[in-house]
Amino acid sequence: MKQKRFILQENELPTAWYNIQADMPTKPMPPIHPATKQPLGVDDLAHIFPRECCVQELDTEHDFIPIPEEVMDKYKAYRSTPLVRAYALEEALQTPAHIYFKNESVNPLGSHKINSALAQCYYAKQEGTTNVTTETGAGQWGTALAYAARVFGLEAAVYQVKISMQQKPYRSSIMRTFGAAVTGSPSMSTRAGKDIITVDPHHPGSLGTAISEAVELATTTPNCKYTLGSVLNHVVLHQTIIGLEAEKQMAMAGEYPDVVIACFGGGSNFGGLAFPFMRHHLKDGRRTEFIAAEPESCPKLTRGEFRYDFGDEAGYTPLLPMFTLGHSFKPANIHAGGLRYHGAGVIISQLLKDGLMHGVDIPQLESFDAGMLFARTEGIIPAPESNHAIAAAIREAQRCKQTGEEKVILFNLSGHGLIDMSAYEQYLNGDLVNYAVTDDDIQRTLQSVPQ
Ligand SMILES: *Cc1c(COP(=O)(O)O)cnc(C)c1O
């Protein structure tokens, strides 16, 4: 009999995260201070983030980092997530490829983000912090943080990108249900927000504007720490629970992936799934191709430049070595709000530079075509972000159809789209459009990158 889903029991869950920094052929360059250009250490970062997260951020030595028992206990509420063989999708595509997906949409919050929210809130609580703050785009990260803060008894203040708040009103209801205070960004409640609104009163907001506001709140409020849903090394570290489970589950299926694919906003669900497999690629010579699927309208991996740039729009954060479109880049209002970010995480940027992975860019319409086919074959309506991974997986499967190769393709279903039905509604009504970016657009915003 063909097995469809592969599930680990509680006692089979991985108990340590994988820190790829220990195994990278080129270590990531350090974050630096924007004025002095000096490398930043744990003490420089720990006034913004929980200290343990800063330690993890800069740890290039330990390959496995134990998951605290309190975090493990919370993981058990929804982990393991299923590894699923997409037989019906394979059949619809008439491909000889074997397509698997890791279903991170099956927790109560609907995306992978909870994996790091729980860890960050646990460490914040441990050090005596009472309040956490953050930004959120489409709302998945804010939702995860609101829940994790509640679980560990912290107060959460969330800045949500204004345009996403309008597109997805129920996200803020969910955050408020868990007790978080939610503000649309840019807002008049911070200096960063006021500055942005002064220049552009109709600014739709972006992850960049919301990060600026949250960082400002964290640095001006006692006992308040900032948390981030993606981009940083420690966030990707926490997400490796995805790939570590998938590794065991692929073994249960008796297969090993030739291609690993995930959508790409800042890199956490991509790194989370890919890094445990990349470990074998680096250390045991097991060959796998790693593909990050980004939107055509925000192409930092395929068309950005490797530079030191700010993580946020207002230029409050340290400078990070990243593939970037420039921190002033304003992504089009695509429905995949979680992918509307100007840069790529530090580890991923280095891996891309070293040729260990590559990016593909996906037009919005192609992403929804893929999501529709997936919904109609596998019965799950994916998040608009995840549609990019599905589209890239379908491209691979179609290539296999032409060549006759029986490749094993593994992709991450980073979330479900049940709060994104207005996007599907637009697609079904034929109102969804593509947004191309010109080289001139990119050159203009790259000028905002500090020299
Ligand atoms: C946030 C989000 C993403 C993008 O963030 P990464 O850090 O690149 O993973 C992708 N999919 C979903 C469902 C998200 O919520």
- pLDDT average per 10 residues of sequence, the chain (451 residues): 95 98 97 95 94 98 98 97 98 98 95 98 98 92 97 97 86 96 96 94 87 92 95 97 98 98 98 98 95 98 97 87 95 88 96 98 98 98 98 98 98 96 96 95 92 80
> Which of 230, 232, 322, 346 best tests ligand 1's pocket when mutated (most atoms within 8 Å of CB)?
230
Is the CB of residue 326 less than 8 Å from the CB of residue 342? yes
**Alpha-carbon gap, residue 374 to 384, rounded angstroms:** 12
> Which of 263, 270, 298, 418 best tests ligand 1's pocket when mutated (most atoms within 8 Å of CB)?
263
* 367 CB within 6 A, ligand 1: no
Per-residue pLDDT, 330: 87
Residue 385 CA: which ligand 1 atom is closest?
11
Q: Which two tokens stand for residue 32?
A: 């630096």
Per-residue pLDDT, 232: 95
In 168-299, which ranges are continuous DSSP H helix?
A: 169-177, 191-199, 207-220, 233-252, 268-283
Pick from 365, 324, 316: which is nearest to 345 by CA? 324
* 162 CB within 6 A, ligand 1: no
Pick from 344, 313, 295, 300: which is nearest to 161 by CA? 313
Residue 111 CA: which ligand 1 atom is closest?
13
Per-residue pLDDT, 308: 97
* 139 CB within 6 A, ligand 1: no
138 Cα–ligand 1 center, Å: 9
Per-residue pLDDT, 346: 97
Q: 255: alpha, beta or left, given left = phi > 0 and alpha = psi -120 to 50?
A: beta
Amino acid letter, residue 429: N
User: Cis (ω within 30 of 0) for the bond into 186?
Assistant: yes
Burial class (CB in 10 A: 0-12, 13-18, 19+), 136: buried
432 Cα–ligand 1 center, Å: 21
> Which of 107, 112, 341 best tests ligand 1's pocket when mutated (most atoms within 8 Å of CB)?
112
Is the CB of residue 387 less than 8 Å from the CB of residue 255? no
Enter the pTM of the model: 0.96
**Alpha-carbon gap, residue 177 to 385, rounded angstroms:** 24
Per-residue pLDDT, 314: 78
Per-residue pLDDT, 351: 98
Burial class (CB in 10 A: 0-12, 13-18, 19+), 239: buried
How many other β-carbons are positioned within 10 Å of the β-carbon of residue 81?
Answer: 23
